[in-house]
A and B are shown apart, each in its own frame.
Chain A
Amino acid sequence: MTTAKNIQEQALAEIAAAADIAGLEQVRVKYLGRKDGELNRLLRSLKDMTEAERRKRGPVLQNLRAHLEQALDQRRAELATTTSDAALLKLAAPLDFQLPKIGHLHPLTETIRMINDHFLRLGYSLMEGPEIETDEFCFRRLNVPPDHPARDMHDTIYIEEPKYLLRTHTSSIEARVLEKYKPPFKVAYPGRTYRNEKASKTNHFIFHQYQGFVVLKEASLKDLFGTITGLFRKMYGPKVVIRFRNKYYPEVEPGVGPDMQCFNCAGKGCAVCKNVGWIEMGGAGIIHPNLLWMAGIDPKKWRGFAFGLGLDRWVMAKYHIQDIRTLLGGDLAYQYYQHESNL
């Protein structure tokens, strides 16, 4: 069995005998190479020894490694002054170099900013609201009284049933703005919402929505469709194909369901769109007069529309994130720099 002493003697002899840098490198790999270096093999065998043997042998081997590295450095320096490898050595010297650390914003922040900028340019205000909500502003003010079938769509997490809960949609912000401010206004807002679901790779009990609404002297479905089309073109490009269909939500009347033509099959039908050819993108409609009445706003004088969409799946698709749980911590990390931008 090769002993540390054997290795020391042989290695030192070969280091001294190396005639050039390439030869010296071969010696280094032979004894200190990570995979098959003789000294490293000995070091790996430490794990098969007893505790007492390891305590004895370990320091000896570590000292030998340091000794050999020193000998290599010394020989390298000698060769640098005496051989034509000097110029190569200068190039081979390690660079003291570190890529600059830049900070990154979360993918959801980047997405929300893009949409915020779009609406700010259209003259909208931005808004926010509480996440611990009341039944009043999460449901009743949105035309969903107790025992309304629409409540089944929500799966609420309660803090103090029935009064306090975690908001199930960002429409509660709409209810609060209607209560607090007098029209006219145009408002847009992102927000975090909660539903009582088990978290998995594709679903979560916390998700992010983006909503907006206007209350003006006149606002029509044509205005609403134009607004949504503008937003989708911003998010998906100018060639996106959208359709609008009648869809029920208690807080709007008429209600609208905007769909995007499936990007995978261009509307022919596939697994992505469940063979329908279209992908549901959210909800919208003319604000129900009950919401305005409850806020003390006369729907005969004011009309508005509202729209909303989910953000998480869009962000996941754009940033190639496979697991929805990543959006809220754990495995999310950032590269120092990008070779090419997919964004």
Chain B
Amino acid sequence: MKVLYSHIKKLVPGLKATAREVGEGLTLTGFMMDGLASVTYNGKPDHVISLEVRQNRPDGLSVLGVAREVAAIYGLNVKLPVLKAKPRTVPSSGSGAGVKYGSARSPARVDAKNKVRRAQVAAFTGVKNGPSPRWLKEYVELLGMNSVNLLVDISNYAMLVTGYPNHLIDQHKMRGDLAWGYNTRFDRMTTLLGTTLELQKKGEMLIQDDVNPIATLMVGSRAAEVTRGTSALVAEVAVYDPAQVRRDSRTFHVSTEASRRLEKELDPSGVAYAFEFLAALIVTHAGGTISTKLFDHYPRKFQPRSILFNPAWPGRFAGIEIPPAQSLRVLKHLRFKVATGKKMWRVTPPAERTDVTIGEDVVEEVVRLVGYQNIPSGELPAFPPTPDITPPIIRLVEKVRDALAANGLDEIYSLPLTTPALNAAANYREWSQVVTQNAINEEYPVMRQSLLTGLLAQAQSYRKKNLEHVQLFEVGKVFGKVGREYQERECLGLLVHISAAPKVTTAAQHILEQLFRGLGASEVGHRPAAAGPIVSNPHAAWEVLVNGKAVGILCQLQPQKLTGNTVLGDTAFCEVDLEDLERSLRAATHPAAIELTHKLIILDANLELPRGDSLPDRLHEICRQIGERHVWSIEVKDTYPAGDKVRYTLRVSYRDLSDPEAKQKHAEVFVDN
């Protein structure tokens, strides 16, 4: 939104602040100045102040609205423009410009009544269109619009000043009434800008006549364009259901000065002033008369809305003292009506402030005009202690990071979006992939199902740049869909590549063992995995177990299976589900110390197992048979193949047993084995 400094000064008599000071004042109160240009207007030096209007303030996109804001900041009043139109009888909404309406019926009707909150229409005859006077041409151009001809410039000027968009339609190009309704008839419309809109007939609104679409809610059509030859026109000012405007704007991919205003909650009562302003400009500068009555569709009249407000609130919200008298002064500068009471006030905002609806909105009005710069900001607040609700997994993740970095691994972050092909190669869980519907970056349409995709890509990049030492990890989410449910799991991914190292999975296993023991795991183990990623060696994939629970997968990769991968013949990958790991660690009990009442009794034994039987499982069973509190350790000292079996030599250390007791236990257990 741009405003001309001289215009603001004209609207706010007594304003002494410079353009920069005005811009900085507006910035602090909510209209951020993002540009200040020195210009010449009407032969005199001037300034254009550019403002970012983020608020849901429809009045903020008008010169009058900004002028009111400036007046409030400096404690002054706004003087509305007085137009030198030819005097006629009222009705007038107080603009000071009396315009006379004709007696003929205005060619307008509203079919979609619940979407049009107010519309005013009248027809003009005997107008003369031509080039704009210098002041008007310069004005619209300085405020960022193209000067076209007198009538078009008047239309834009009226919108810029009042904040209400309008349409001027060449009446000789119209057939029948100007009608607001849903589009059921037209397939396309050529806009005033020359572009073609494909109309959907799916709930979008049009202003149309018997033959043509005249306009969408946000842009006019060439069919009834006002040109140099226009001598009769129909003018309309209307406000709509903002949601309809937004939907249509998205449907047509059109955003205009008009749509940006109409998408906000414009006050319907303000249409009257806006239409009179427009009509007076037409009559004053283009001549002519109003040939019809004023058509005024206004189904639900504006009712002033009063808000219950506690004058103690601004001070409590701000954290400084703001006396009620100061709040009252500020509200009056903002043109709020205030009915004070002992404890509570009734505050009525001006009609155009449709954004102020609750007490907190009134608080903001007071505090922002008192000034945030007057609130101390250098002191850390002394808050009371509050319960710690940090999820345990967050602490676990930080410990994991520290442990791996200490072990020489580098952390990466990679894209959580990837390609279906990479997902297919890397996934090992039983879930389907999560697909985005509208991602602009088409090369990454799906969410990653494994951290392998990113780790492998980074390792590739390292190798291409001659970095040989590749030990990477990443902590991040992986995503999938099970049935109708979307899932995301926080995981740790590890990738270890050591050139020409045949036992790279052993190196990865060692890293994991150190990590888990450091985190407090009492048991760390592996068993063959039922399935690994497609890029893994199917004979070298294991489930990782912590305290007896599966927490992840470790495998040797064969990344040459991935097309275009030039790297990494000797590469191990591991992925650990950190939520599963956290649960496993939490469930473990770790007696801190034991009382050793006897010396350890150490005995050897032989154990024969069929090939393929799990040695760890068997040893766990033996521990149970002995009684776990009597087992200090079991070590495998030797392994010997014996036909279709394997013979193991074990060294068993017994605790808290006498010598004869240990030997008896040993004989019982190992005779049976």
Q: Tell me how far the C-beta of B358 lies from the nearest C-beta in chain A, rounded to whole angstroms.
A: 7
A159 touches B363 (CB 8 A): no
Given the complex, which residues of B lie within 8 Å of A332, measured CB to CB? 412, 458
List CB contacts (< 8 Å) of A171-203 with chain B. Answer: 177, 181, 184-187, 192, 196-199
Known: A184-B386, A185-B387, A330-B461. A227 touches B317 (CB 8 A): no
A218 touches B316 (CB 8 A): yes
Known: A102-B405, A248-B56, A254-B368. A205 touches B440 (CB 8 A): yes
Given the complex, which residues of A lie within 8 Å of B454, measured CB to CB? 329
A131 touches B477 (CB 8 A): yes
A36 interface residue, CB < 8 Å from B?
no
| Number of residue pairs A-B, CB distance < 8 angstroms | 235
B409 interface residue, CB < 8 Å from A?
yes
In-complex Cβ contact of A149 among B246, B412, B414 (8 A):
B246
Given the complex, which residues of A lie within 8 Å of B57, measured CB to CB? 248
Given the complex, which residues of B lie within 8 Å of A206, measured CB to CB? 415-417
State which of A14-22, A81-89, A122-130 sits at the interface with chain B.
A122-130
A149 touches B413 (CB 8 A): no
B385 interface residue, CB < 8 Å from A?
yes
State which of B23-31, B74-82, B165-173, B283-291 sits at the interface with chain A.
B23-31
Given the complex, which residues of B lie within 8 Å of A150, measured CB to CB? 56
Q: Tell me how far the C-beta of A157 lies from the nearest C-beta in chain B, rounded to whole angstroms.
A: 5
B317 touches A221 (CB 8 A): yes
B471 touches A205 (CB 8 A): no
Given the complex, which residues of B lie within 8 Å of A220, measured CB to CB? 316-319
A33 interface residue, CB < 8 Å from B?
no
State which of B151-159, B374-382, B567-575 sits at the interface with chain A.
B374-382
Q: Tell me how far the C-beta of A313 lies from the nearest C-beta in chain B, rounded to whole angstroms.
A: 16
B583 interface residue, CB < 8 Å from A?
no
A187 touches B389 (CB 8 A): yes
Given the complex, which residues of B lie within 8 Å of A166, measured CB to CB? 436
Given the complex, which residues of B lie within 8 Å of A276, measured CB to CB? 33-34
Q: Which of B264, B437, B465 has the most CB of A within 10 A?
A: B437
B372 touches A245 (CB 8 A): yes
Given the complex, which residues of B lie within 8 Å of A181, measured CB to CB? 389
A132 interface residue, CB < 8 Å from B?
yes
A103 touches B471 (CB 8 A): yes
In-complex Cβ contact of A288 among B360, B398, B438 (8 A):
B360
Complex CA gap A130/B478 in Å reads 11
Q: Tell me how far the C-beta of A205 lies from the nearest C-beta in chain B, rounded to whole angstroms.
A: 6
Given the complex, which residues of A lie within 8 Å of B393, measured CB to CB? 128
Given the complex, which residues of B lie within 8 Å of A159, measured CB to CB? 434-437, 486
B247 interface residue, CB < 8 Å from A?
yes
In-complex Cβ contact of A226 among B27, B378, B405 (8 A):
B378
Who on chain A is nearest to B264 by CB? A149
Who on chain A is nearest to B387 by CB? A185
A236 interface residue, CB < 8 Å from B?
no
Complex CA gap A328/B438 in Å reads 21
In-complex Cβ contact of A246 among B372, B388, B401 (8 A):
B372
Q: Tell me how far the C-beta of A301 lies from the nearest C-beta in chain B, rounded to whole angstroms.
A: 13
A331 touches B405 (CB 8 A): no
Known: A214-B383, A274-B34. A246 touches B436 (CB 8 A): no
Given the complex, which residues of B lie within 8 Å of A164, measured CB to CB? 486
Band of interface residues on A: 35 or more
B391 touches A222 (CB 8 A): no
A128 touches B391 (CB 8 A): yes
Q: Tell me how far the C-beta of A201 lies from the nearest C-beta in chain B, rounded to whole angstroms.
A: 14
A70 interface residue, CB < 8 Å from B?
no
Given the complex, which residues of B lie within 8 Å of A219, measured CB to CB? 381, 383
Given the complex, which residues of B lie within 8 Å of A199, measured CB to CB? 441
Complex CA gap A184/B442 in Å reads 44
Q: Tell me how far the C-beta of B1 lies from the nearest C-beta in chain A, rounded to whole angstroms.
A: 14
A158 interface residue, CB < 8 Å from B?
yes
A137 interface residue, CB < 8 Å from B?
no
Given the complex, which residues of B lie within 8 Å of A327, measured CB to CB? 413
Q: Tell me how far the C-beta of B513 lies from the nearest C-beta in chain A, rounded to whole angstroms.
A: 17
B590 interface residue, CB < 8 Å from A?
no
B380 touches A328 (CB 8 A): no
Who on chain B is nearest to A225 by CB? B377
State which of A2-10, A49-57, A106-114 sits at the interface with chain B.
A106-114
A225 touches B375 (CB 8 A): yes
Who on chain B is nearest to A231 by CB? B380
Complex CA gap A244/B411 in Å reads 36
Who on chain B is nearest to A256 by CB? B372
Who on chain A is nearest to B391 by CB? A128
B94 interface residue, CB < 8 Å from A?
no
B361 interface residue, CB < 8 Å from A?
yes
A48 interface residue, CB < 8 Å from B?
no
A296 interface residue, CB < 8 Å from B?
no
Complex CA gap A113/B32 in Å reads 33
Complex CA gap A127/B390 in Å reads 6
A244 touches B375 (CB 8 A): yes
A91 interface residue, CB < 8 Å from B?
no
List CB contacts (< 8 Å) of B393-428 with chain A. Answer: 393-394, 398, 401, 404-417
A221 touches B375 (CB 8 A): yes
In-complex Cβ contact of B372 among A131, A216, A244 (8 A):
A244
B439 touches A196 (CB 8 A): yes
List CB contacts (< 8 Å) of A221-279 with chain B. Answer: 221-223, 225-230, 242-248, 250, 253-257, 274-276
A96 interface residue, CB < 8 Å from B?
no
A147 touches B247 (CB 8 A): yes
A337 interface residue, CB < 8 Å from B?
no
Complex CA gap A105/B465 in Å reads 20
Q: Tell me how far the C-beta of B306 lies from the nearest C-beta in chain A, rounded to whole angstroms.
A: 18
B413 touches A246 (CB 8 A): no
Given the complex, which residues of B lie within 8 Å of A216, measured CB to CB? 383-384, 386
A186 touches B383 (CB 8 A): yes
Known: A125-B389, A127-B391. A248 touches B30 (CB 8 A): yes
Given the complex, which residues of A lie within 8 Å of B408, measured CB to CB? 101-103
B668 interface residue, CB < 8 Å from A?
no
Q: Tell me how far the C-beta of B364 lies from the nearest C-beta in chain A, rounded to whole angstroms.
A: 4
A245 touches B29 (CB 8 A): yes
B488 touches A132 (CB 8 A): yes
Q: Tell me how far the C-beta of B189 lies from the nearest C-beta in chain A, rounded to whole angstroms.
A: 23
Complex CA gap A197/B440 in Å reads 6
Who on chain A is nearest to B361 by CB? A253
A125 touches B29 (CB 8 A): no
B467 interface residue, CB < 8 Å from A?
yes
Further 8 A-B residue pairs, CB within 8 A, beyond A185-B387, A197-B440? A103-B405, A103-B409, A152-B246, A205-B440, A222-B376, A253-B363, A255-B364, A328-B413
A/B interface sample: 8 pairs, CB < 8 A: A128-B394, A131-B477, A166-B436, A197-B440, A223-B381, A243-B28, A244-B377, A254-B363
- Nearest 7 CB-CB pairs, A to B? A222-B319, A220-B319, A225-B377, A103-B405, A147-B243, A254-B364, A223-B381
List residues of A whose CB falls within 8 A of some B CB.
101-106, 108-109, 113, 122-123, 125-128, 130-132, 146-147, 149-150, 152, 157-161, 164, 166, 177, 181, 184-187, 192, 196-199, 205-206, 214, 216, 218-223, 225-230, 242-248, 250, 253-257, 274-276, 286, 288-289, 303, 327-334
List residues of B whose CB falls within 8 A of some A CB.
27-30, 32-36, 54-57, 242-243, 246-247, 263-264, 316-320, 358, 360-361, 363-364, 367-368, 372-373, 375-381, 383-391, 393-394, 398, 401, 404-417, 434-441, 447, 454, 457-458, 461-462, 465, 467, 469, 471, 477, 479, 486, 488, 490
